[in-house]
A and B are shown apart, each in its own frame.
Chain A
């Protein structure tokens, strides 16, 4: 079987108002073609979960520029003044989450855990309104899991079944998000026949990937 589809058909499945996780770190390892197609199809009111919004004109920054985002769960917007401007003007609702907590909340969402128990953020504004728990005399913050309607993933290599491989710092949030999206769309630099990725080297398992888009073509 092949999960390969066209760019337009894959992105048409994402309705306005959907929650969407997008892999990448300052643009590195983001599914750039899928992002460009979200903009081209004029999607609106998206709730984005991503590590950052890169810079204006780059990666997830393009969705901010296109006014496609109404809600954002993220850890860092320091290099995108456009996102900060829209946050302060209350055009985008932004929830800032410590980066390690964001990764673990997504992991919890994708692996069926009820939450994350972390020392990060205790005693800061991040802890406001959240429960804490004492374990062996130390205080931890309880953070909720995160899931999304869609996860948009970038991989360096995919087989037609959707087994994925990543490389270097383009890995970042991609593998963990591939587990936490209800529908997972992966964009791969290289697409190979089933069998070309050996079982020991499938970093994301194809069963969670629904649609595959080649980076070119």
Chain B
């Protein structure tokens, strides 16, 4: 299975009926496709809409309705639009249940770095710093390694996004929960051994007593 699809499917299991959810640009956007049947989540797009959904047909594209990446989008009945001040009021104000973000690095303290590689790549933080500071639950969705390099490391070497400890890390190899004691390895992907995960991770991992195989459906 494609690594990104696997990650998106596993993250979708974390969402609850009625949740207000913000999905980052890229991989996290895929999560919306894998919501368990019958479940309804409200997706916020930080450019000013709650109730966004993917565009069903290209012909319906409308220039004043896009997702946060600028791609034409659509909305569900009951959706509401608002300006950027209000949008970030939802995010910082404790109204957002879950944010799913990509990551460059996560460390043993559960701190995320995802907005710049000094001198090389400077996308900027966009809404990420507000999202990590303000969402009730922060889920990092990322590939376990990048070009063979570990991304789950002892201490972030890139500028961090927030001092906050993220709540869950979902990769193509594992599900890891950052806790006050350290990073707890809770699940491994189908066909992945615990030793494989350890070898691809620089940080120390605490193996959960009830470690199990990643479940991809409810």
**A172-B84 in contact given A25-B68, A28-B66 (Cβ < 8 Å):** yes
Chain B nearest CB, measured from A78 CB (Å): 3
Interface flag for A75 (CB, 8 Å): yes
Q: A118-B92, A120-B134, A169-B45 are in contact. Are A76 and B124 (CB under 8 A)?
A: yes
- Chain A residues near B119: list those with CB within 8 A: 88
Tell me how far the C-beta of B91 lies from the nearest C-beta in chain A, rounded to whole angstroms: 6
Residues of A within 8 A of B85 (CB): 103-104, 107, 175-176
Chain B 121-148 interface residues, beta-carbon cutoff 8 Å to A: 121-130, 133-134
Say yes or no: A169-B124 contact (C-beta < 8 A), given A100-B130, A124-B160: no
Instruction: Decide if A100 touches B92 in the complex (CB within 8 Å).
Output: yes
Q: Does A101 contact B (CB under 8 A)?
A: yes
Q: Are B47 and A74 in contact (CB under 8 A)?
A: no
Complex interface residues of chain B between 72 and 88 (CB less than 8 A to chain A)? 73, 81-85, 87-88
- A170 and B163 contact, CB distance less than 8 A: no
Asked if A77 is at the interface of the complex by the 8 Å CB criterion, the answer is yes
Q: Which residues of B contact A167 (CB under 8 A)?
A: 64, 81
User: Is B125 a contact partner of A170 (Cβ separation < 8 A)?
Assistant: no
B130 and A54 within 8 A (CB): no
Most chain B CB within a 10 A radius of its CB, from A25, A156, A167: A25
Q: A26-B68, A28-B64 are in contact. Are A120 and B48 (CB under 8 A)?
A: no
Partner pick for B65 among A76, A94, A168, A176, CB 8 A cutoff: A168
By beta carbon, the residue of chain B nearest A87 is: B122
- Decide if B123 touches A54 in the complex (CB within 8 Å): no
- Which residues of the partner chain B approach A99 to less than 8 Å between Cβ atoms? 46, 84, 88, 125-127, 130
Residues on A lying within 8 angstroms of B by beta carbon are 25-29, 51-52, 54-55, 74-79, 84, 87-88, 94, 96, 98-104, 107, 118-126, 156, 166-176
Known pairs A75-B125, A98-B129, A100-B91 / 17 extra A-B pairs, C-beta < 8 Å: A25-B47, A55-B70, A74-B124, A75-B126, A77-B124, A78-B123, A78-B124, A87-B122, A99-B125, A99-B127, A103-B84, A119-B92, A124-B129, A124-B162, A171-B83, A172-B83, A175-B83
Binding site for A on B (CB under 8 A): 25, 45-49, 62-66, 68-70, 73, 81-85, 87-88, 91-92, 116, 119-130, 133-134, 159-163
